[in-house]
């Protein structure tokens, strides 16, 4: 479990609920299940190409490799992923490719984009609670159209002051966001499921972070959590003044946010 490695020295849990912070909240696999649907599609894809006789592991490897290559060209999202599957299909099937199979692959779109969103337990009530006490900004990565449709379909849109959908969540993206909204980094928390896209770049940008591991996480989003740059030490006797960046909270469930914010 790579998730469980985190720098304990950085784990400074606030003693009391924090007043009026800015919470940047990730969407996919933080508010609702996403990767599980992709896993189901890959599994269906393996069944579909079963007639070619390749081992499932080999097929999965081909999908992973093509996906990572294509993310750089086409970005994230269901549309990009389905094109990748079709490319892998054509490569594996060669002259045995069938038009009906390509239609089936395009049909996986229903699983990825048209099934009702399944919010994680406690998400709706927790956002309602948080929105009354703090500023909430949705900060997600991917295709702007796809992501926006999901936010609207989730019914959660009114909880957020704004939605920020970016092609890549890296340190620069966090710094740009903070600057554009005129935020004080020490009061900003990124809440998300991905060490690679939510936690590490936020800490590197001098923000705080709340890591909520997802049960069905995408391997691509994992990496070891790294502390951010040193933050100014609080005056002696004022340990945990609550006014410094670089704090990290690890929570089991989204609803646990209510205990800290
Ligand atoms: Mg996520």
pLDDT at position 14 is 57
Ligand 1 geometric centre to CA of 235 (Å): 36
pLDDT band, very low/low/confident/very high, at 6 (cuts 50, 70, 90): very low
The pLDDT of 56-85, averaged and rounded, is 93
186 CA distance to ligand 1 centroid (A)? 22
Residues near ion ligand 1 (Cβ under 5 Å): 26, 28-30, 193-194
Decide if 2-33+118-259 and 35-114 have a common fold.
no
Query: What's the number of CA atoms in the CB half-sphere (13 Å) around residue 91?
Result: 12
pLDDT in tens, 113-157: 888 899 999 999 999 999 999 999 999 999 999 999 999 999 999
pLDDT score, position 101: 97
Q: Separation of 34 CA from ligand 1 center, angstroms?
A: 8
More confident residue, 79 or 3: 79
pLDDT at residue 228, rounded to an integer:
84
How far, in Å, CA of 261 to CA of 251, rounded?
12
Q: Where are the domains of the chain?
A: 2-33+118-259, 35-114
* pLDDT value at residue 12: 54
Q: Which backbone phi and psi does 14 adopt, to 5 degrees?
A: -60, 140
- 3-state percent helix, strand, coil for the chain, nearest multiple of 5: 50, 10, 35
Q: Is the pLDDT of residue 10 over 90?
A: no
Q: To which residue do tokens 């933080």 refer?
A: 30
Nearest Cα residue to 94 out of 129, 54, 143? 54
Number of residues written out for the chain: 261
Average pLDDT over residues 69-84: 91
Distance from residue 91's CA to the centre of ligand 1 (Å): 30
The answer to whether residue 68 scores a pLDDT higher than 60 is: yes
Considering the domain 35-114 in this protein, what is its CATH number?
A: 1.10.150
Average pLDDT, the chain: 89
* Integer angstrom CA distances of residue 255 from 36, 126, 128, 187, 201: 20, 6, 11, 20, 24
Span 146-199, pLDDT tens digits: 999 999 999 999 999 999 999 999 999 999 999 999 999 999 999 999 999 999
CA of 94 to the centre of ligand 1 (A): 35
Q: If pLDDT is split at 50, 70 and 90, which confidence band does 87 have? A: very high
**Centre of ligand 1 from the C-alpha of residue 155, in Å:** 18
Taking each helix axis from N to C end, the angle separating 78-93 and 56-74, rounded to the nearest 10 degrees, works out to 130
Ligand 1: centre distance to CA 1 (Å): 17
What totals of helices (H) and strands (E) does the chain contain, helices first?
A: 9, 6
Query: What is the predicted pLDDT for the residue at 1?
Result: 35
Give the fold, CATH level 3, of 2-33+118-259.
Answer: Rossmann fold (3.40.50)
**Burial code of 122-142, b = ≥16 C-beta within 10 A, e = fewer?**
ebbebbebbbeebbbbbbbbb
Geometric angle at alpha carbon 213, from 167 and 261, rounded to 5°:
90
Q: pLDDT by residue (tens digit) across 11-64?
A: 555 567 888 999 999 999 999 999 999 999 999 999 999 999 999 999 999 999
- CA of 51 relative to ligand 1 center, distance in Å: 34
Mean pLDDT of 215-240: 72
Are the C-beta atoms of 178 and 60 separated by less than 8 Å? no
């Amino acid at each position: 479990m790579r998730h469980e490695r985190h720098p304990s020295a950085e784990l400074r849990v606030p003693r009391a609920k924090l007043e009026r912070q800015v919470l940047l909240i990730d969407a996919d696999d933080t508010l609702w299940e996403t990767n599980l649907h992709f896993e189901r599609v890959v599994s269906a894809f393996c069944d579909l190409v079963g007639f070619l006789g390749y081992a499932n592991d080999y097929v999965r490897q081909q999908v992973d490799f093509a996906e990572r290559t294509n993310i750089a060209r086409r970005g994230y999202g269901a549309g990009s992923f389905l094109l990748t599957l079709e490319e892998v299909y054509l490569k594996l099937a060669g002259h045995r490719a069938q038009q009906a199979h390509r239609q089936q692959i395009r049909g996986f779109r229903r699983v990825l984009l048209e099934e009702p969103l399944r919010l994680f337990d406690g998400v709706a009530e927790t956002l309602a609670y948080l929105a009354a006490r703090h500023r909430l900004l949705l900060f997600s990565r991917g295709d702007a159209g796809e992501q926006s449709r999901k936010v609207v379909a989730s019914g959660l849109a009114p909880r957020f002051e704004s939605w920020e959908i970016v092609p890549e969540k890296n340190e620069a993206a966090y710094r740009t966001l903070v600057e554009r909204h005129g935020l004080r980094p020490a009061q900003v928390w990124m809440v998300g499921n991905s060490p690679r896209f939510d936690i590490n770049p936020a800490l590197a940008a001098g923000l705080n972070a709340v890591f909520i591991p997802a049960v069905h996480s995408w391997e691509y989003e994992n990496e070891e959590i790294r502390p951010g740059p040193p933050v100014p030490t609080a005056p002696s006797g004022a340990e945990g003044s609550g006014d410094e960046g670089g704090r990290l909270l690890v929570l089991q469930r989204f609803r646990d946010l209510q205990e800290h914010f």
